[in-house]
Amino acid sequence: MISGTVKDTDIHIGDMLRVHTQVVEGGKTRIQIFEGILIRLRGRGESATFTVRKIGAGAIGVERTWPLDSKALVKLEVKKKTTGVRRSKLYYLRDRIGKRAVRV
């Protein structure tokens, strides 16, 4: 479990997440949502980061990495919990195509 403000959510490798990020474009701000599978957690304390992977348009895999202490993170939702994941990094999902790429 990760402790802190956004870090209060109990996230584990393989969970389906919705990451709400504040994006500043010119003088306007908006909330952008990135939804995908948590494939990596690394670091401790201030240097801790997490990586989420989704399958975008045209069946192209997209990964984004955020620091857990980022002020741009508004909310971190766990959409679906997974059980039985026995790896700490899910890099093997990068080689998969279609539905196999989003099932753990």
Give the confidence band of 53 by pLDDT, cuts at 50, 70, 90: very high
**pLDDT for position 101:** 86
**pLDDT for position 98:** 83
pLDDT in tens, 2-27: 444 455 678 999 999 999 999 999 99
Q: Name residue 54's amino acid.
A: K
**Rounded CA gap, 43 and 79, in Å?**
23
CATH no. of 6-101: 2.30.30.790
pLDDT in tens, 89-98: 999 999 998 8
**Rounded CA gap, 47 and 64, in Å?**
16
**pLDDT for position 6:** 59
